[in-house]
Amino acid sequence: MSTHELYTEAVGEPNWQVPSASSARLSWEYDDGRDRLLALYQKGKDKQWDGAKRIDWDLEVDPYDPLGTPDESMSLYGTPYWAKMTDKDKGELRKHYASWQFSQFLHGEQGAMVCAARIVESVPDLDAKFYSATQTMDEARHAEIYGRFLHEKMGMLYPINDNLQALLGDTLRDSRWDMPYLGMQVLIEGLALAAFGLIRDTTDKPLPKQILAYVMQDEARHVAFGRMALRDYYSQLTDAELREREEFVIEGCYLMRDRLRGVEVLENFGIPKAQAEQYSEESEFLAMFRQLLFSRIVPCVKDIGLWGKRLQQAYVDMGVFEMGNSNLDLLMAQDEEIAEKLDAERFAAEEQARVTEVRDAIRSGEAG
């Protein structure tokens, strides 16, 4: 079925065209790559996987409770609207909210694929082009998986959020080759990764858990790539050039914190925009969620050398400054471990089922 039939509202033109001023660059140096970057490229090749095979698509998903979300975490919980809602309404709200969230993941993954391809095109060094080519493939697989989940299991999609689209547009239009890294790898992916992690660690539904754990295993490499490339490059920039990048980060962070809340979902339930914004502002759960969304961005920004006064102050104002001290390497190692552990558990369960089957077959043979 065409996705356009599943969108909650018409998305207009079938393509979004973003003009760009960036240059394509080819390098004639084929033998001088940075060891760490080439090692990451090798890992990117070794760790490819196929979502059509690795994910158990036969698992059923209840679209009215796809993630096992507790009532208290819904933004309307405790409001007069919630009191008036029937169980059916609440199921409908869960379906819309999860569709909205996974749709933003899907559009973000497509954006990540395009940004990774842009990096292949515009980054000066061949080692970075090689690595980013593997990432382009990773992001294609991710977009495929989220798209399949939404089509097959949810039957509903939301258009891209206006502000996510604006940030993606700014990232793609910029002529500086480091901006797709900063806008996508650091900001948008940093935010997405934190959101994936929160769902992965709280959902009790096996299909979304598999999807998120396996996608996050790849994302750990993407973050490592962004850090490596930007740390090298930013150490050569002037103060003025660094401040420009910091302004971009500050603006992007506020935008995502304040304008990426799924207010459009509540509007679809007849709640006026101002009221919907107020509810999402007042929800204790959402306030906590919004802070946790920065757990991957803040340490990364600090690590790549964007840690000027204004940026530090912005993070103090957002209440996320302390996150700069969290250990990104540890978080990413955990992301990889969780995916491997999930694989091991699933294969052990399958093995057990096979053994039981064989034993039963032998027993029924003996009986007969």
Name the site residues for Fe ion (rule: CB under 5 A).
109, 112, 139, 142, 189, 219, 222
User: Of 189 and 303, which has the nearer Cβ to Fe ion?
Assistant: 189
**Which residues partner with 7 through β-bridges?**
157
User: What DSSP state is assigned to residue 182?
Assistant: I
**Can you read off the two tokens belonging to residue 274?**
């101002």
The single-letter code of the amino acid at 247 is: E
User: Of 93 and 119, which has the nearer Cβ to Fe ion?
Assistant: 119
Distance CA 335, CA 217 (A): 6
Nearest approach in angstroms of CB 15 to Fe ion is 21
User: Of 224 and 253, which has the nearer Cβ to Fe ion?
Assistant: 224
Q: What is the chain's length?
A: 368
The distance from CA 197 to its chain's CA centroid, rounded to whole angstroms, is 9
Using CA atoms, how far residue 137 sits from 117, 144, 218, 291, 343, in Å, is: 9, 11, 11, 31, 21
Handedness of CA 341, 342, 348, 352 (dihedral sign): positive
The single-letter code of the amino acid at 59 is: L
Angle between helices 206-234 and 35-46 in degrees, nearest 10 = 160
User: Of 105 and 248, which has the nearer Cβ to Fe ion?
Assistant: 105
Distance CA 72, CA 78 (A): 8
User: Of 215 and 306, which has the nearer Cβ to Fe ion?
Assistant: 215
Nearest approach in angstroms of CB 296 to Fe ion is 12
Distance CA 251, CA 294 (A): 14
Distance CA 216, CA 220 (A): 6
Nearest approach in angstroms of CB 52 to Fe ion is 17
Query: Taking phi first (over 0 means left), then psi (-120 to 50 degrees means alpha), and beta for anything else, what does residue 77 get?
Result: beta
Nearest approach in angstroms of CB 183 to Fe ion is 13
Nearest approach in angstroms of CB 112 to Fe ion is 5
Nearest approach in angstroms of CB 300 to Fe ion is 13
User: Of 109 and 318, which has the nearer Cβ to Fe ion?
Assistant: 109
Nearest approach in angstroms of CB 290 to Fe ion is 21
Nearest approach in angstroms of CB 51 to Fe ion is 11
User: Of 75 and 135, which has the nearer Cβ to Fe ion?
Assistant: 135
User: Of 127 and 139, which has the nearer Cβ to Fe ion?
Assistant: 139
Angle between helices 189-202 and 284-292 in degrees, nearest 10 = 120
